[in-house]
Structure 1
Amino acid sequence: MRSRLRKLYAHDRQFAWNARIDQVRTGQGLCRCIRLRIWGAGKNSRALRVDLLSRATRSRWGDPAATDGAYPESKDVRAVIDYALGNGWRPDDLGGTFVLSEARHAQELLLPAFVVTDLLRLAERPTSTRQPAPS
C-alpha cells in the first residue's frame, strides 16, 4: 500500500510529508512509533526524517501500540519543520536525508504527544551474522 503524501504550507513554500506507523518494544511493552518524512523542494530534495515515540502509557486495555491512536497533526509537523530549519536542514539541497536523532535533538524538540526516539532506527539495524573463527 502506498503511503499518502500530505501537504503543509510554511516558510513561503509547500512541504510534502508522510508518516508511517510502526511499533517498538520499550519497558512499557509495545509502543507506537511514527516515522515522519518531510520534503521541502520536491522528491529529489533533501528529505527530513524523524522517528517519534508516542507518549501514551500502558493502559488496562493492553500495550500502547494496540490502543494508541497517536498520529502527527499539522501542528506537530510544523514544529518539526521549524526546528529542523533552525538546526541545519536545507530542503533545497539535492539528495540525502537530514535525520533528527534522539541523542542530539530530543531535549530541544518538544511535542505534546511525542518524543524524538532512535528506537525504530536501532530496531532496523541488521544483527551480526558473523560466525566465530574456527579454533
Structure 2
Amino acid sequence: MRTRLRHLRHGSRMFTWRAEIHHVRGDADCHRCIRVRVWGSGKTGQALQADLLSLAWPAPWGACATDGSYPTSADVRALIMFALRAGWQPERRGGTFALTEMQHAEACTLTGFLLTDRLRTPHGADPTQRVIAAHNLRQRS
C-alpha cells in the first residue's frame, strides 16, 4: 500500500506529513495508535514524530481494527505548533524530533488523542489505564 503524503501550510512554510495506523496492546484492551511524521524542510530536514493513542472508548477487544480515529489537519497543525515551541527545528539537517509521552504528554493536548511511548517501547505507560483516566477526567469536567 502506498503512503499518502499530505501538505499543510503554517505561515509561510509548507509542511508535509503522513500518518500510519498501528495498534498497541494495553493490559485490558487493544488501542489504535497513529504514528504521525512531519517534515518542514523536505526529507533531509529534521522530522517531527508523534505517536498518538486514540481516545475512542469504551471499546471491545480488537477495537483497534474498528476504531476510525485519524488525525485531522487541525490535529497536525496543533502538533506542529507545539513542537516548534518545544524546540523542533525543521530546517536542521537530519534526525528526528520526537514528541514523547514522558516529556510532552502533559502539555500537548489534542481532542481525540494522547501522546504515547508504547509504540516505540513496550515499557511505555499502559494505554488502557491512560484512556480510562482521560475519559474519567472528561466526565468530571
Shorter-chain TM-score range: 0.7 to 0.9
Distance 2:33 2:112 in 1: 11
What is the aligned length? Answer: 123
Unaligned runs of 5+ in 2: 123-141
Identity of aligned residues (%): 49
Instruction: Give the structure 2 partner of residue 53 of structure 1.
Output: 53
State the match for 2:85 in structure 1.
Answer: 86
Distance 1:114 1:106, change over 3 A: same
Q: How many Å apart are 1:28 and its aligned residue? A: 3.9
Task: Say which one has the larger Rg.
Answer: 1
Question: Per the alignment, in what secondary structure is the counterpart of residue 89 of structure 2?
Answer: coil
So what's the TM-score if we normalise by structure 1?
A: 0.86
1:1-135 equivalences in 2 (<5 Å): 1-59=1-59, 62-123=61-122
Q: CA RMSD in A?
A: 1.5
Deviation at 1:57, TM superposition (A): 1.6
- Larger helix share, 1 or 2: 2
* CA displacement, residues 68-126 of structure 1 (integer Å, 9 cap, x when unaligned): 10000000000000000001000000000000100110001000000000000014xxx
Q: Which amino acid is the alignment partner of residue 110 of structure 2?
A: L
Alpha-carbon distance, 1:66 to partner:
2.2
Does the CA-based 8 Å contact 1:35-1:52 persist in structure 2?
A: yes
* The 10-residue stretch of structure 1 (22-31 or 79-88) with the greater mean CA deviation from structure 2: 22-31
TM (norm. structure 2) is: 0.83
User: What is residue 130 of structure 1 aligned with on the other side?
Assistant: none
Please identify runs of 4+ aligned residues in structure 1 that moved more than 3 A: none
